[in-house]
């Protein structure tokens, strides 16, 4: 399925070589996407004039990715992505994701964070506020489901311009996975019941 990017959509950019930034879509043309800063002005590292990169963003259906060449745009502090290859595609979510505000503790190598989920699935969670978490951080977490708290390991895989971070679970097995699956199914039923007239 082809996915169209809209202005102000938050995107994660990964340059070949590992450099990562979070940006926002400033403009979309027929053969380019201009990326504006979320914080300081954007620039390529080490005086590079161009670099191969991957752009990723969240859609209603899942995660979309697009490869391309990243260069400086005509506007200062803005980078321009020239997409290459196939059209933008959506990778559909493997797990059902439900909105939920749950207390969670996240432990990274250098700090601890107590925050809340915005949504949760058996495969991961979106938490905010979480500005202190960096992309690719490996974390340990404890998630309060009300009647029980589950724990596991994960990795920060995306960020948004408003300070939320997506954590992909990497070690959630046995009873913890069953409890979370039960919670997600119950939450789905509650949302469906609440939407009926």
pLDDT in single tens digits along all 197 residues of the chain: 345 678 888 888 888 877 888 899 999 888 899 999 887 888 888 778 899 998 888 766 566 788 899 999 888 889 999 988 765 555 555 677 889 999 999 999 888 999 999 999 989 999 999 999 988 899 999 999 988 999 999 999 888 878 899 999 987 877 888 899 889 888 888 887 776 55
Q: Residues 74, 109: one domain?
A: no
**Domain range spanning residue 15?**
10-92
Residue 4 in domain? no
Domain boundary among 74, 92, 110: 92
Q: Residues 76, 134: one domain?
A: no
- In the 8-state DSSP scheme, what is residue 133? P
pLDDT of residue 143: 96
pLDDT of residue 93: 55
Residue 181 in domain? yes
Q: How many domains does the chain have?
A: 2
Which element (helix H / strand E) includes 194?
Answer: helix 174-195
Domain boundary among 44, 76, 92: 92
Residue 178 in domain? yes
Residue 1 in domain? no
pLDDT of residue 20: 82
Residue 69 in domain? yes
Q: Say how many C-beta atoms besides its own lie within 10 A of residue 145's C-beta.
A: 19
In this structure, the chain runs to a length of 197
CATH number at residue 166: 2.40.10.220
Query: Is the C-alpha dihedral spanning 162, 168, 171, 174 positive or negative?
Result: positive
Q: Residues 112, 28: one domain?
A: no
CATH number at residue 35: 2.30.110.70
pLDDT of residue 14: 87
Distances (CA, A) of 193 to 98, 186, 196, 197: 14, 11, 6, 9
Q: Residues 32, 106: one domain?
A: no
């Amino acid at each position: 399925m082809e996915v169209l990017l809209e202005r102000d959509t938050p995107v994660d950019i990964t340059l070949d070589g590992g450099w990562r930034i979070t940006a926002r879509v400033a403009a979309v043309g027929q053969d380019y996407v201009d990326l504006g800063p979320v914080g300081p002005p954007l620039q390529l590292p080490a005086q590079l004039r161009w670099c191969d990169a991957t752009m990723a963003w969240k859609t209603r259906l899942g995660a979309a990715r697009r490869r391309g060449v990243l260069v400086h745009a005509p506007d200062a502090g803005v980078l321009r992505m020239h997409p290459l290859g196939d059209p933008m595609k959506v990778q559909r979510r493997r797990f059902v994701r439900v909105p939920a505000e749950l207390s969670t503790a996240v432990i990274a190598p250098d700090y601890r964070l107590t925050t809340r989920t915005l949504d949760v699935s058996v495969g991961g969670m979106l938490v905010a506020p979480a500005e202190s978490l960096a992309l690719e951080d490996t974390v340990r977490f404890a998630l309060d489901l009300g009647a029980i708290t589950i724990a596991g390991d994960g990795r920060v895989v995306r960020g948004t311009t408003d300070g939320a971070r997506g954590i992909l679970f990497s070690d959630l097995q046995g009873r913890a996975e069953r409890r979370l699956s039960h919670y997600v199914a119950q939450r789905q039923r509650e949302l469906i019941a609440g939407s009926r007239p």
